[in-house]
Amino acid sequence: MTREIKILGMTVLLFSAHLAYGQESEEKLVRKSFENYKFAILNDKGDEAVKYVDSRTIKYYSDILDLVKTADSSKVESLSILDKLMVLVVRHRTSREEIFKFDGKSLFVYAIKNRMVGISVASNTIGDVTIDQNFAKGELITKGEKTPYFFHFYKEEKIWKIDLTSLFPVAIMAFNKIADESGQAQNDFLLSLLEMTTGIKPGPEIWKPVN
């Protein structure tokens, strides 16, 4: 009996060590995916960045594309500041012909290549990583400071991919704060932002569906 107990104990220890090694290996893969995404963003490589974002992110861009095509001014007005900005920036900076060629994935690629999104990731890293099967979360570190927020990752097609929508609530709070501090009405703030980044004053057509 003693021999069997020893064998069982060794088996448990080996199994635990295997699990610990597996967790450590997966954590490295999560961090690697984040770094690959960050490198692609900072080098305007949309075709590379899209490999590291998950299906939730792509669906978000598909939904934005639908709004670009169909949302009237009252619908746009009802959106969060982040969604509103996304709709307006696509309408302002993209031709009708391009819009009707896009799907969610190609819109994301276009947005990265044209620096419409993503540059703020330069000051971000991830701290502690927690993994639960095919889900992981990485602590958001901004300018070297820990935050109470997390990037979410999902393992899809055997690759850890970032769910960018997991931090949208934080982005919305930040945009609302900046808009409030600008002293402008929200819509005026967004239009000023578009003009500042493109050098072109948005026209009234920006509030209309693209059809």
Write out pLDDT tens, residues 135-183: 999 999 988 899 999 999 999 989 999 999 998 998 899 889 999 999 9
What pLDDT, on the 0 to 100 scale, is given for residue 24? 63
Which mean pLDDT values do the consecutive 10-residue runs of the chain (211 residues) have?
49 43 77 93 91 96 97 96 95 94 95 77 85 94 90 94 93 92 94 92 95 85
Domain residues of the chain, as ranges?
A: 2-207
- pLDDT (0 to 100) of residue 120: 61
Rg of the chain, C-alpha, whole Å: 22
Q: What pLDDT shows up at residue 144?
A: 87
Q: What share of the chain is helix, strand, coil (3-state, %, to 5)?
A: 65, 15, 20
Note the pTM of the prediction, 2 decimals. Answer: 0.86
